[in-house]
């Protein structure tokens, strides 16, 4: 009986040792998996940070280019300020959607010209009607009954 008791205890110890080795292997694999996942996430974070820096550099470059273009445009306007045509175009403070300043200025001029023409034509017609009334001497009160 002593042998069988020792055998049973030894078998239990072997089984327990086997279980512990399996658990250790599982924990090592789990640790390896977690480490690999962490490394992947770290690489992804580095990649995103590099993209962010690239976008920031591109935005800064675009901002610099826009400022340079605005400076060149301002220089151009300052050089052209004595040009009467340029003065006319810059007099258009607010252009209409879908139009250039030139087109808006032209439309303003044409509208004004047409309005003045209509006023002058309208007043000429009124003067002509008044002249006819004076010549024919037609008055609404003197109609034949």
Q: What Å distances lie between residue 70 and 67, 80, 86, CA to CA?
A: 5, 15, 17
Query: What local confidence, expressed as pLDDT, does residue 55 receive?
Result: 93
Q: Which letter does DSSP use for residue 116 in this model?
A: H
62, pLDDT greater than 50: yes
Which are the contacts of 96, defined by CB distance < 8 A and separation ≥ 6?
103, 104, 107
Any idea what the Cα angle at residue 7 is, between residues 5 and 10, rounded to 5°?
110
pLDDT tens by residue, 29-55: 888 888 999 999 999 999 999 999 999
pTM of structure: 0.34
- pLDDT band for 145, please (50, 70, 90 cuts): very low
Phi-psi region of 112 (alpha: psi -120 to 50; beta: other; left: phi over 0): alpha
Handedness of CA 90, 91, 94, 98 (dihedral sign): negative
Question: What would the mean pLDDT of 15-31 be, rounded to a whole number?
Answer: 84
- Helix, strand or coil for residue 99? coil
Which residues are within 8 A (CB) of 87 and not within 5 positions of it... i.e. 6 or more apart? 81
Average pLDDT, rounded, for the chain: 77
pLDDT digits (tens, 9 = 90+) for 72-122: 887 776 666 667 777 777 777 777 788 887 788 888 888 888 776 666 666
């Amino acid at each position: 009986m002593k042998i069988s008791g020792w055998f049973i205890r030894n078998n239990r110890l072997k089984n327990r040792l086997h279980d512990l080795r399996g658990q250790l292997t599982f924990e090592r694999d789990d640790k390896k998996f977690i480490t690999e996942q962490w490394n992947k996430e770290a690489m992804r974070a580095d990649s995103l940070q590099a993209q962010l820096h690239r976008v920031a550099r591109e935005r800064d470059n675009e901002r610099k280019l826009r400022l340079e273009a605005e400076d060149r445009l301002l220089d151009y306007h300052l050089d052209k300020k004595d040009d009467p045509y340029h003065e006319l175009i810059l007099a258009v403070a607010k252009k209409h959607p879908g139009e250039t300043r030139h087109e808006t200025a032209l439309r303003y001029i044409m509208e004004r010209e047409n309005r003045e023409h209509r006023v002058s034509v309208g007043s000429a017609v009124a003067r002509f009607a008044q002249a006819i009334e004076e010549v024919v001497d037609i008055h609404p009160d003197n109609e034949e009954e």
